[in-house]
Structure 1
């Protein structure tokens, strides 16, 4: 028996692989409820910071639309992050950002926090990253200045 854990948008997903490839899967209530309700109220409140303020939020589309992912600290490699409740990768997919933290955060083009970058001031938002140095759909690292 193998146990696998995965964090998806702040919720833990646990799969227990048994015998010949069968799996029993359990997810936290917030993730299950959000999926069943089409990410409705829970997803909307988390994305707007009402339920989980103090995060940097990346959004898949301009104007804070589409998939979203929240961060509370530096992540030097976004290739293993997914838009909340989806199987789509966050890496090279961000088009808008809300920084609801008290820290400045730099978005970098490359894994490891190198290359083109844009600085997001504390408690700021940018509905269109295409006019920044990082550009649209190129973020691979988020660095919190603490």
Structure 2
């Protein structure tokens, strides 16, 4: 009975992630990211073992200072450590507000659990350019 109950809960959570693509905020528990979204995470490895702070994007945002992690009043500016791209196109992160400075670009379907190994670096993203 426990196994069946666990399976039902897991399927319900997976279904919620699929349906969430139609809603605003759609990073899924455990670091998932719904189709049609670009998701940033506050910690390495999509927040595994840390506070589940994330934010997703469908459009450009060249000033991340006015964006906050889900369920938080903490700005995401200069705080992203991992990302997933399910947007359907390439996405670029920029170091500075307005889209200048160091940059890194990821193709659709890319995952990066450690932004420190890219030009953008860890805790340096200040702008998102969607569908570059």
The TM-score range, normalised by the shorter chain, is: 0.7 to 0.9
Mind listing any 5+ residue stretches in structure 2 that lack a counterpart? 1-22
Structure 1 residue runs of 4+, over 4 Å off? Answer: none
State the partner residue of 1:62.
Answer: 44
Structure 1 CA distance, aligned partners of 2:35 and 2:91? 15
Q: Which of the two has greater helix per residue? A: 2
Q: Which of the two has greater strand per residue? A: 1
> Aligned residues, how many?
105
Over the residues paired in the alignment, what is the CA RMSD in angstroms? 2.0
Structure 2 CA distance, aligned partners of 1:10 and 1:90? 17
Post-superposition Cα deviations, 1:43-93, rounded to whole Å, max 9, x if no partner, equal 517x513xx421000000000004100000100000000000101111000
TM-score of the pair, normalised by structure 1: 0.66
TM-score of the pair, normalised by structure 2: 0.73
Alignment of 1:35-74 (within 5 A): 44=29, 47-49=31-33, 52-65=34-47, 66-74=52-60
Q: Equivalent residue of 1:63, what SS?
A: helix
Structure 1 CA distance, aligned partners of 2:125 and 2:89? 18
1:142 aligns with 2:121: no
Higher RCO, 1 vs 2 (CA within 8 Å, ≥6 residues apart): 2
1:10 aligns with 2:40: no
State the partner residue of 1:123.
Answer: 109
Mind listing any 5+ residue stretches in structure 1 that lack a counterpart? 1-8, 12-41
